[in-house]
Amino acid sequence: MRQIVLDTETTGLEWKKGNRVVEIGCVELIERRPTGRTYHQYINPQREFEQGAAEVTGLSLEFLSDKPVFAAIADEFLAFIDGAELVIHNAAFDVGFLDYELSLLGEAYGRLGDRVTVEDSLLLARQRFPGQRNSLDALCKRLGVDNTHRQLHGALLDAQLLCDVYLNLTAGQREIGFGGAEEATSGAAAAVVRHFDPAVAGARPRVTVSADELAAHEARLATLRKKAGGRCLWDPPALEAG
């Protein structure tokens, strides 16, 4: 599965007031692993920042004056994200701005939803940590992601931090690969997964686990318990006092 962790910076909070995108940052994941491919672009918004917006990013119209306009980078950007699942924190904000930018280019460009699917990491965080602060900074602190170098908002930096946050937030939610007739993995924990047909194979094989594997499993559960606040999904249910 190909995913793109994406962040944007803008001239203000609402595209309906004519605010524009000034920076896009993207990090590519394949099967939940960073590939090293990124996309980063500053954009000339051709309008002033709203009060306070420039201070958040440290950008200025003077700095952006020699950067390309969105129309000049749209095809390259769309080619980078095409067909992927976008992971965005507070997706409605970024998608709204990018759809607005595309609308200014004409109907032929359509909307983001015509090209990609979207996973909102803010909604995931609210499900995992209901009633708590779930800003990017708060999640970095809660999930142990180092963001001490984040002094200002920056699209690529924030996408890189969100990438780490998302992978921690969704740890243990990968699908088991039962889709193919046979699938092998490499390395010390190599295994072969096959469709099981009792009529053909007879009794199920019994799999034994070594002491080292049990210790590694327990260490992983301990990490998940710490992140989840005391318990994780794989723990047995607590017994009620009689």
**Which positions are catalytic?**
153
- On whether the CB atoms of residues 127 and 40 are closer than 8 A, the answer is no
- On whether the CB atoms of residues 221 and 232 are closer than 8 A, the answer is yes
Tell me the C-alpha distance between 206 and 221, whole Å.
23
**N residues, the chain:** 242
Tell me the C-alpha distance between 10 and 54, whole Å.
9
Which H or E element spans position 122?
helix 121-128
- 122-to-21, 39, 109, 134, 186 alpha-carbon distances in Å: 20, 22, 27, 7, 34
- On whether the CB atoms of residues 26 and 38 are closer than 8 A, the answer is yes
